[in-house]
Amino acid sequence: MRILGIETSADETGVAVIEASGEGEKDFQYKVLGNALLSQADLHTRYGGIFPNLAKREHGRNLVPVLMEALRQGNELHEGQASADEKKIEELEALLTREHELFTYLSEFLRAYGKPAIDCIAVTAGPGLEPALWVGINFAKALADVWQVPLVAVNHLEGHIIVARAKNGSLAPIDKPSIALLVSGGHTELVLIKEWHKYETIGATRDDAAGEAFDKSARLIGLPYPGGPEISKLANAAREANLARGAELPRPMIKDKSFDFSFAGLKTAVKKIVDGWTTHTDDLKSALAREAEEAIVDVLLAKTKRAVEEYGTKTVIVGGGVSANDYLRKRFAEEFQNGPHILFPSPEFATDNAVMIALAGYFRAEKKEFIGAAELRANGNLKLAN
């Protein structure tokens, strides 16, 4: 089965095509045929975070070129055989009234290119920024209508979990229950994977997400958005140069018995330190970046360890943008070198992408869990199913 995946939940516009086979997770095999991604991070830099209406506008502009790139990679961009006649295109205009730019690009595309060999369209339905999600959803509905293929709605978080298991064209086996630590710009959750597709969230952040803590600390230190990779760079340099630690930051809720997190206090503490600086030297910034990174990772690791002990799990999956962090990977690998088995996504698939949506979509499509266009809606707070 060939799945076209679409991701627009935050500031990455992603389209991917995968070919996959197998029933459920056991004999699953996949191949990425096309994978295109356009990041808007540079545009959001000046806001220090994602600006929802700007994200919506950019997805509208970028989706068609990104789709064309993914299809081109998969040798499925068929020029000279229109996908739709003028009557159909007129119908689409009604569906895309709120996405005028997208409609303009899409109608040109549909007049010039034929249907690719795909069997299903998988699109992120949530969680995420609703204005951004809607663009991808309406795009998916329009394509599904024109090409007469079914739709599946994908939970973005399930995408992060599944892509962390995707290795060498198949899915790394996991013991059940296993623990997933989801750490992204919008989420910090500990999830118990009880069975295939059955999740229980055992802890979550009460305020800022881990990625947000990276982004906000970075902004206070004077580093551009997204802050995670910037903090990571400076922190690595500080450790290598053996810089004096300087300031000390709190490890919020590290001793708390619950599996919840709270990172909002961290940015307040970072702010206090930065406000006290009389000079802003590179060494001061690097030392503080290191302390912020280590504070966040200390808490994530301590809570994950406790969850592993409490639930006796033999597998830990770490997913979401923050799972790209080198230091986090190193600390988790050291801590769990004698088990449980730990799975990270390959670095290129740690942050948002459409391959993860196509992968998660396959398992829904394979069970014929399709969704009608009228039922498919964006849900900014979509939870992992239980």
Asked if 64 contacts 19 with a C-beta cutoff of 8 angstroms, the reply is no
Using the rule CB under 5 A, is 189 a contact of Zn ion? no
Q: Tokens at residue 270, please?
A: 């970072």
Specify the 3-state DSSP secondary structure of 346.
Answer: coil
Q: How far is the CB of 124 from ligand KG4 (least distance, A)?
A: 10
State how far the Cα of 348 lies from the Cα of 123, in Å rounded to an integer: 20
Q: Which of 109, 113, 139, 214 contacts ligand KG4 by CB under 6 A? A: 214
* Shortest Cβ 146–ligand KG4 spacing (Å): 29
Q: Is 313 in the site for ligand KG4 (CB under 6 A)?
A: no
Smallest distance from ligand KG4 to CB 137, Å: 16
Burial of 343 (0-12, 13-18, 19+ CB in 10 A): buried
Structure tokens, 216: 């906000």
Tokens of 44: 């959001």
Q: Which listed option, Zn ion, ligand KG4, none, makes contact with residue 353 (CB within 5 to 8 Å by class)?
A: none
Provide CB contacts within 8 A for 255, sequence distance 6+: none
Told to check if 184 binds Zn ion by CB under 5 A, we report: yes
Q: Is 322 in the site for ligand KG4 (CB under 6 A)?
A: yes
Q: How far apart (Å, rounded) are the C-alpha atoms in residues 157 and 44?
A: 23
Strands 2-7 and 120-126, bridge-based pairing: parallel
Query: Amino acid identity, residue 282?
Result: D
Does position 325 interact with ligand KG4 (CB under 6 A)? The reply is yes
How near is the Cβ of 297 to ligand KG4 at its closest, in Å? 9
- Does position 270 interact with ligand KG4 (CB under 6 A)? The reply is no
**Piece of the chain touching ligand KG4 by CB under 6 A; list 66-74, 141-149, 209-217, 302-310:** 209-217
The residue with tokens 């295939």 is 196
Burial class (CB in 10 A: 0-12, 13-18, 19+), 197: middle
215 in contact with ligand KG4 (CB under 6 A): yes
Q: Is the dihedral of CA 96, 35, 10, 153 positive or negative?
A: positive
Work out how close the CB of 164 gets to ligand KG4 at its nearest, in angstroms, rounded to a whole number. 11
**Burial zone of 1 (CB within 10 Å; 0-12 exposed, 13-18 middle, 19+ buried):** middle
- Residue 136 or 211: which CB sits closer to ligand KG4? 211
Closer to ligand KG4 by CB, 228 or 340: give it: 228
Residue 294's alpha-carbon distances to 46, 47, 247, in angstroms, are 26, 26, 12
Q: By CB under 6 A, is residue 162 in contact with ligand KG4?
A: no
**Interaction residues for ligand KG4, span 165-184 (CB under 6 A):** 184
Applying CB under 6 A, which part among 83-91, 98-106, 221-229, 273-281 lies near ligand KG4? 221-229
Which residues are within 8 A (CB) of 224 and not within 5 positions of it... i.e. 6 or more apart? 45, 218, 230
Is 222 in contact with 45 (CB distance < 8 Å)?
no
Supply the minimum distance, in Å, between the C-beta of residue 9 and ligand KG4: 6
Q: Residue with the closest Cβ to Zn ion?
A: 184
Eight-state DSSP code of residue 373: T
**Does residue number 13 form part of the binding site for Zn ion (CB under 5 A)?**
no
The answer to whether 52 contacts ligand KG4 (rule: CB under 6 A) is: no
Task: Answer yes or no whether residue 76 interacts with ligand KG4 by CB under 6 A.
Answer: no
Candidates 126, 227, 340, 345: give the one binding ligand KG4 (CB under 6 A). 227
For residue 157, the minimal CB distance to ligand KG4 (Å) is: 8
Which positions from 200 to 229 touch Zn ion by CB under 5 A, shown as an x/- string? ------------------------------
For residues 338 to 357, the per-residue mask of contacts with Zn ion, x marking binding by CB under 5 A and - elsewhere, is --------------x-----
Place of tokens 């197998």: 22
The answer to whether 60 contacts ligand KG4 (rule: CB under 6 A) is: no
Q: Would you count residue 315 as binding Zn ion (CB under 5 A)?
A: no
Nearest to 156 by CA among 368, 355, 18: 355
Give CA separation, 314 vs 157, 182, 305, 311, 340, in Å.
21, 17, 11, 9, 4
> Which residues bind to Zn ion, rule: CB under 5 A?
184, 352
> Which residues bind to ligand KG4, rule: CB under 6 A?
10, 184-186, 211, 214-215, 226-229, 232, 320-322, 324-325, 351-352
